[in-house]
Structure 1
Amino acid sequence: MAAKLAGPPRSSASTIVKSKFALARELGCTHTLSARDDQLVTAVQELTSGGVDYAFEVSGNRGAMTIAFDFTRRSGEVVCMGLESLDARFVPPHSGGSRGKGYSGHFHGEWQCGR
């Protein structure tokens, strides 16, 4: 919904639950992609001429976080929310295509509005 209000020329959603695609389109996504697609990174890079400016990863899955870095363009921003368990750790990739990318995250609900 935020992307629809911000008015980008295109926005996309990726999920393993294909039944969510209709809702994503209703809320403003112009493209929906299966997160199970082996060619997801390539598809996103082709769709966006090199990668997204902003990636929001909200599943808390470390593999999905890494994929978000992979399809974000240089100088883009990756925002991750949550981790799969209380003892899980995630280290953003620091090699190859991850250079020049920003990273921020909010884990386990510690963020509070109005701070």
Structure 2
Amino acid sequence: MKMIVAVVQDKDSGRLSQALVKNGFRATKLASTGGFMRAGNTTFLVGTEDEQVSEVMDIIKQSCKSRKQMVTPVSPLGSAVDSFLPYPVEVQVGGAAVFVLDVEQFHSY
């Protein structure tokens, strides 16, 4: 058995959630926040059998697309604010960070 932990951008979470349900997978959704852009993310926890991991990974790849976005960096804490000039920067957002973990035991009470 495997535990798939997928961190996705909030914009992709609805599409991923629907695709997982449509394909018979259940997931737990957790609200999370990214570090660099301090943007909202959703973390999905999907428990599945070993032979279904590739199917879940395909669903994640199809549902979570990366894209470019212009952002203004947040002022660094502790630095001289008057010397910080926030210029918009183009960054890649979206997609998914996915971890596949071995599960030694699973219990449902």
TM range (shorter): under 0.3
Task: Give the TM-score taking structure 1 as reference length.
Answer: 0.25
Higher relative contact order (CA 8 A, sep 6+): 2
Give the strand-richer structure, 1 or 2: 2
Task: Give the TM-score taking structure 2 as reference length.
Answer: 0.26
